[in-house]
Chain A
Amino acid sequence: NAGVTQTPKFRVLKTGQSMTLLCAQDMNHEYMYWYRQDPGMGLRLIHYSVGEGTTAKGEVPDGYNVSRLKKQNFLLGLESAAPSQTSVYFCASQELGAGKETQYFGPGTRLLVL
């Protein structure tokens, strides 16, 4: 049981390049989230999904797109990377149901945009 995994662990992009971050969970969780973490700003929600085939915007969605074609995978895309998107990206998953609010995080992806 691997929990939540993310690929890649680290990536360097040039401004304008595109890439996709992959999050996978093997806990059969309904909810999945993408956050970015920047110094002094905590974790900010980019996009989230409440089930396969659904996505919704979070607090800071601009410049990102997501897809949830399979329940276990949540993809985060950057179509045209900008230096402001240099950050650590964390994926999280959560069960559905009352009393099950705990979010389980992946190990993170460090992204540097030059």
Chain B
Amino acid sequence: GENVEQHPSTLSVQEGDSAVIKCTYSDSASNYFPWYKQELGKRPQLIIDIRSNVGEKKDQRIAVTLNKTAKHFSLHITETQPEDSAVYFCAATSNTGKLIFGQGTTLQVKP
């Protein structure tokens, strides 16, 4: 069935370093790939998304890259700050248009 794999499950970086989270998807028809950030006890919130006709998208310190041939996409956070500490989820659309979420990555930014 349709599946989204996300790695790593936990990631610890020093403040100021970069963080990279990777996801692979199984459905070649997927065309929308959002990333959500969820702070402890809060709701998931969209931080960036990319569509299949674009290879890269940036928004200040965060960027997402998409490789459709390899069916993987990545979230890049530069100059990490303690407030970036959260759980990050990737997702991809299924052939029914619904989102399939990855398992989540817990990012810890150490001051």
Contacts from A to B (Cβ < 8 Å)? 33, 40-45, 48, 58, 90, 101-103, 105-108
Contact = CB atoms under 8 A, between A and B. Distances in A.
Interface stretch (B11-19, B42-50, B60-68, B70-78): B42-50
B99 interface: yes
B46 A107 contact: no
Contacts, number: 40
14 contacts: A40-B103, A42-B102, A43-B89, A43-B101, A45-B98, A90-B43, A101-B34, A101-B93, A101-B99, A102-B46, A105-B43, A105-B45, A107-B42, A108-B43
A21 to B, nearest CB: 15
A97 to B, nearest CB: 12
Contacts of A33: 98
A4 B31 CA distance: 25
B103 A106 contact: no
B104 A102 contact: no
Given A40-B9, A45-B99, A101-B93, 20 more contacts: A40-B103, A41-B103, A42-B4, A42-B89, A43-B44, A44-B101, A48-B98, A58-B98, A90-B43, A90-B44, A101-B34, A101-B99, A102-B34, A102-B46, A102-B49, A103-B34, A105-B43, A105-B45, A107-B43, A108-B43
Contacts of A90: 43-44
